[in-house]
Structure 1
């Protein structure tokens, strides 16, 4: 919003007027709970501070009050403030880079342990956190019915019907026409989406603008330049169906649920199971192992053991496992024959 427009509206209405960027930034600031979230909000605020600085300096010049230069420094007031803002921005970016490197270390650790990662994305207040809580039973999660309640990426372990352990990643909610400065500031937060095995798009089908919200989320995801296979395999979940009596999805390949009431969760888990196995290339195999050796304990540690059928007369067991290609290769190398 241009400064003259803001002044005219305030004069006409007799109240202070805020543009979209300022309102969203204020909501972000209120919900920033971690160091990284607060740094990201501070970074997004820099362009607003620069804009306000130019407006204030222009007002001072029009009034003809005060000196244009700081005594003895050779710099004008404007130059000093711009330099301070530039230094502040550099300090914030350096701190965020440090936190980003820590996140990369954690991501590498997850990859070494081969945990499949499922990223939950969606429009703000669509119920992502509530759905993750329902899928994992994580009582530490406290969903809040408000815009941008989640500003940080958090990971929560859950178990699929195949007994495979997955990590559900809770991401910041999207918003239509989100200011570019905010997208840039929180881009690092969405890096984890690009490194996930599966994306789940959670939609609030009770919202009157559900279709516009979907379009906004899809456009934002495409703007992140995610790998095409990751976008093509995205699973769509229609949440809050309890608020729409008799709801039946008209689109194919979607799963209707009520995260709050638990409706449709078993069907969703089955869909997630199949999608994760396909995305990660895991196989369901039955392997015969010797009971006296280390094979069984190795499989328990490196794969997901579904069933063990002991054959006493052979001193062996048939073990059904969910196993990745890399883990199966290691198994054949360690235990040939």
Structure 2
């Protein structure tokens, strides 16, 4: 193949554009012909087969409806080159391959440095998007709430800040300025970086307010003695489908990566009559950008406060075990690894996609572990078993006690009835005798909330 590094600029570009200018592409206009490349670097910590990693990258690309994936390829990379990632011969070969397919956007499934991105865009005359950039595009497309939009903006700006070098030629030009807009001789890159810093600080201040509001919501929920059960799992594992099936909610649930971005909470009554709150969270993914982990920490704090964690796994996926390890790594980065180990149920979802032998094997393995359950959120298979396991996990410290309350404690008795803690009640010696069955958390909340009514009760 002949080199395409000296190919002429696209005739649709302006006459003033040169090969040193950045390639701009509006992903919102029409379908963009896209190719997906997975560089097979053969890293020591590599968990997945390159073919499976490429399939996930293609699924990520399909999550943006503005992209038309015309081809995909695993590219063997014996040694990553600092300037182009690939060797010069492979750059030329891929350039011809992309030109023949009339590709306008290339997604490289992995980290690409600003210099590599600049050089490849110049060589191929296409727009380059690395894995982090693609995930940020998807998140920006899906964010609905103000909090979600702010979090995505913060992550995108932090990502953009590290890649100002991509603007190449114009960034070194100096500009004049007075006062707060920069002194004489300030380069454009300095002005751009300062503008980004100002915007990042604005978003962080806005997110601080959101974090305080979320904290107030958590305090309000703490007054209601309902345990919180948080869903975690790899993206597209079926968390939202399971959430909708159990609660009757209408959270977006599609067969695509990152269908759910904004967290949702709903109440659920377990078969025992105990009320709980289910929390659906954003899905995890391998090599999740650090910018997103930091930006979504406020959202993921719901997991930190959860009484029980449901790790939903797509047990039919060929990389199910590798995905589970990625989820555990992210939980560890959030500081909930120890809690997850001690207070987690593994939910093996999508057993309806297994054949009979696979289903039997999955159920046998799940049955041998105390906190594993094999289900199908789509067909409803063994959801009763899941609910029973949740019920059992949330009722380890239940105790039966008898309370002697004055008639003036009607509000307290109503609270006990509303939370379905009363086993029996009677009147004796001008007192209300109430037998309750409750957890330590419910007991503490009861006496904390109604301490002024009966000071003679135990704490």
Aligned positions of 1:34-49 closer than 5 A: 34-49=145-160
Structure 1 unaligned residues grouped into runs of 5+: none
Whole-Å separation in 2 of the counterparts to 1:60 and 1:310: 80
Q: Are residue 210 (structure 1) and residue 210 (structure 2) matched?
A: no
Whole-Å separation in 2 of the counterparts to 1:36 and 1:310: 46
Whole-Å separation in 2 of the counterparts to 1:150 and 1:186: 13
Cα displacement string for residues 295-327 of structure 1 (whole angstroms, at most 9, x for unaligned residues): 787445236327766889x99998564452325
Q: CA deviation at 1:328?
A: 6.3
Q: Are residue 234 (structure 1) and residue 348 (structure 2) matched?
A: no
8 A contact 2:117–2:166 mirrored in 1: no
Q: What residue is the counterpart of 1:181 in the other structure?
A: 291
CA 1:186/1:99 → structure 2, altered by over 3 Å: closer, same or farther?
A: same
Q: Are residue 196 (structure 1) and residue 323 (structure 2) matched?
A: no
Aligned positions of 1:14-93 closer than 5 A: 15-56=126-167, 58-60=168-170, 67-70=173-176, 73-74=183-184, 75-93=186-204
8 A contact 2:285–2:326 mirrored in 1: yes
Whole-Å separation in 2 of the counterparts to 1:89 and 1:47: 8
Q: CA deviation at 1:239?
A: 0.5
Q: CA deviation at 1:230?
A: 4.4
Cα displacement string for residues 107-130 of structure 1 (whole angstroms, at most 9, x for unaligned residues): 001111122101100000111111
Whole-Å separation in 2 of the counterparts to 1:109 and 1:328: 14
8 A contact 1:202–1:238 mirrored in 2: yes
**Secondary structure of the equivalent of 1:17?**
strand
Q: Are residue 103 (structure 1) and residue 218 (structure 2) matched?
A: no
Q: What residue is the counterpart of 2:420 in the other structure?
A: 305
The number of aligned residues is: 327
Give me the TM-score of the superposition, normalised by structure 2. Answer: 0.64
Which of 396, 400, 406 is the aligned partner of 1:285?
A: 400
Q: CA deviation at 1:26?
A: 0.6
CA 1:284/1:133 → structure 2, altered by over 3 Å: closer, same or farther?
A: farther
Whole-Å separation in 2 of the counterparts to 1:191 and 1:129: 18
Q: CA deviation at 1:13?
A: 5.5
> Is the radius of gyration larger for structure 1 or structure 2?
2
Higher deviation after alignment, 71-80 or 42-51? 71-80
Give me the TM-score of the superposition, normalised by structure 1. Answer: 0.85
**Secondary structure of the equivalent of 2:200?**
helix
Q: What residue is the counterpart of 2:73 in the other structure?
A: none
CA 1:38/1:311 → structure 2, altered by over 3 Å: closer, same or farther?
A: closer
Q: What residue is the counterpart of 1:219 in the other structure?
A: 329
**Secondary structure of the equivalent of 1:98?**
helix
**Secondary structure of the equivalent of 1:114?**
coil
Whole-Å separation in 2 of the counterparts to 1:311 and 1:44: 59
**Secondary structure of the equivalent of 2:311?**
strand
Cα displacement string for residues 53-93 of structure 1 (whole angstroms, at most 9, x for unaligned residues): 2221x32378xxxx512355523322221111110000000
Bigger fraction of residues in helix? 1
Q: Are residue 121 (structure 1) and residue 239 (structure 2) matched?
A: no
8 A contact 1:164–1:322 mirrored in 2: no
CA 1:91/1:146 → structure 2, altered by over 3 Å: closer, same or farther?
A: same
Which of 265, 268, 285 is the aligned partner of 2:383?
A: 265
Q: Are residue 325 (structure 1) and residue 419 (structure 2) matched?
A: no
CA 1:4/1:87 → structure 2, altered by over 3 Å: closer, same or farther?
A: closer
Q: Using CA pairs below 8 Å that are at least 6 residues apart, which structure has the higher relative contact order?
A: 1
8 A contact 2:171–2:189 mirrored in 1: no
